[in-house]
């Protein structure tokens, strides 16, 4: 049984409302319902009566609530005692991330780390993949989230998540109702990520596979500068949808309807695994939880944890990618 399931039940018993519980725990109402159903299945009895307008604990639910509150309280006391017995880490935790992560789930990770290690100093470097990987190899960083793994001895890597990439542009430049063929995309000016980055390296084969050439190409090493260039109508770009959902909602940018979609972006986490291993393992655990929590809060078509499946029929026929659930 997970702490989060017990905490969910305690908060739900207090608020007596699935929506308010989901908001307080920064998740969705279906997730709250699923956790309650899992608890009832585990205990083999109903823990709450719920209807459209009422919510009440059953007698069994009252017993479970009392025990959960005591268990969570004991766990809090234990954590505080262990932290008091553990010397504070003097060295800062040096994290590195590309813009796409610093603007999405990095704040949640930092919040988790401060909760787990109240005295921890964190130094965050936001940069491109190449300098982040170089920083890891020099020993300047402890963990990075970028687009390439660090493959040298003494480092470990894993895929943190996948981000949907969407061709987007300003209504000043593109027609949101039009379906663009690859050759028509190639005729437009294109704003791309930096040279030698994986998204940039995917641009050429994206067009070459269709026997066309994108000649009007501008690269940029800043995600925020790219977004501003797109808004101002200087070009179109293949960009993670989660980084521009506000601009899409506001009508500043539009996803292009296309006959061929850009491949998703894999975010790779790398960390040094030779020193302070116990601490780094805890950091990795929090990083995985932060990524998983973020993917659970957004539309599953925009960010996910597992390797992508074959495109859906909607993607194959060029339907406009959905932007239905903003990150919270």
Cα atoms in the Cβ-side hemisphere of radius 13 Å centred on 226: 24
Contact (CB, 8 A) for 323 and 142: no
Q: Using alpha carbons, select from 6, 30, 76, 65 the residue that is nearest to residue 297.
A: 30
* Residue-wise pLDDT tens digits, 182-230: 999 999 999 998 887 888 888 888 888 778 887 788 999 889 999 999 9
- Confidence band, pLDDT 50/70/90 cuts, at residue 25: confident
The top-level CATH class assigned to 93-163+266-297 is: alpha beta
Given a cut of 60, whether residue 86 has pLDDT beyond it is no
Domains 3-85 and 165-263+309-316 are alike in CATH topology: no
- The secondary element (H helix, E strand) that includes residue 145 is strand 143-146
Q: How far is CA 303 from the centre of its chain?
A: 6
What average pLDDT score do residues 123-147 get?
Answer: 94
pLDDT of 84 reads: 63
**Rounded distance between C-alpha atoms, residue 134 and residue 143, angstroms:** 12
Given a cut of 80, whether residue 133 has pLDDT beyond it is yes
* 3-85 carries CATH number 3.40.50.2000: no
**Rounded distance between C-alpha atoms, residue 217 and residue 32, angstroms:** 46
Q: Whole-model pTM?
A: 0.69
Domain boundaries, the chain: 3-85, 93-163+266-297, 165-263+309-316
**Rounded distance between C-alpha atoms, residue 48 and residue 8, angstroms:** 13
Q: Which fold has domain 165-263+309-316?
A: D-Maltodextrin-Binding Protein; domain 2 (3.40.190)
pLDDT of 292 reads: 93
Given a cut of 90, whether residue 155 has pLDDT beyond it is yes
Cα atoms in the Cβ-side hemisphere of radius 13 Å centred on 76: 8
* Residue-wise pLDDT tens digits, 89-104: 668 999 999 999 999 9
């Amino acid at each position: 049984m997970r702490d989060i399931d017990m905490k969910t039940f305690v908060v739900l018993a207090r608020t007596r409302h699935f929506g308010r519980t989901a908001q307080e725990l920064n998740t969705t109402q279906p997730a709250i319902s699923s956790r309650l159903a899992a608890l009832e299945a585990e205990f083999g009895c109903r823990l709450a009566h719920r209807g459209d307008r009422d919510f009440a604990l059953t007698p069994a639910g009252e017993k479970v609530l009392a025990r959960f509150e005591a268990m969570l309280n004991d766990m809090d006391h234990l954590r505080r005692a262990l932290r008091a017995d553990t010397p504070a880490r003097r060295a800062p935790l040096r994290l590195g991330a590309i813009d796409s992560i610093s603007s999405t789930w990095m704040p949640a990770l930092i919040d988790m780390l401060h909760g787990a290690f109240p005295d921890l100093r964190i130094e965050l470097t936001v940069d491109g993949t190449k300098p982040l990987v170089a920083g890891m190899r020099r020993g300047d960083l402890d963990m990075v989230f970028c687009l390439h793994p660090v493959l040298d001895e003494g480092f470990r890597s894993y895929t943190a998540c996948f981000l949907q990439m969407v061709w987007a542009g300003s209504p000043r430049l593109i027609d949101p109702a039009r379906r663009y063929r690859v050759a028509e995309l190639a005729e437009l000016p294109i704003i791309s990520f930096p040279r030698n980055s994986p998204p940039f390296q995917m641009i050429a084969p994206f067009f070459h596979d269709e026997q066309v050439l994108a000649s009007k190409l501008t690269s940029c090493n800043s995600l925020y500068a790219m977004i501003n260039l797109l808004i101002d109508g200087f070009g179109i770009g293949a960009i993670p949808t989660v980084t521009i959902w506000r601009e899409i909602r506001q009508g500043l940018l539009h996803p292009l309807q296309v006959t061929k979609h850009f491949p998703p972006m894999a975010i790779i986490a790398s960390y040094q695994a030779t020193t302070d291993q116990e601490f780094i393992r805890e950091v990795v655990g929090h990083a995985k939880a932060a990524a998983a929590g973020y993917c659970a809060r957004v539309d599953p078509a925009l960010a996910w944890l597992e390797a992508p499946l074959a495109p859906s029929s909607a993607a194959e026929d060029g339907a406009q990618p959905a932007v239905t659930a903003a990150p919270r």
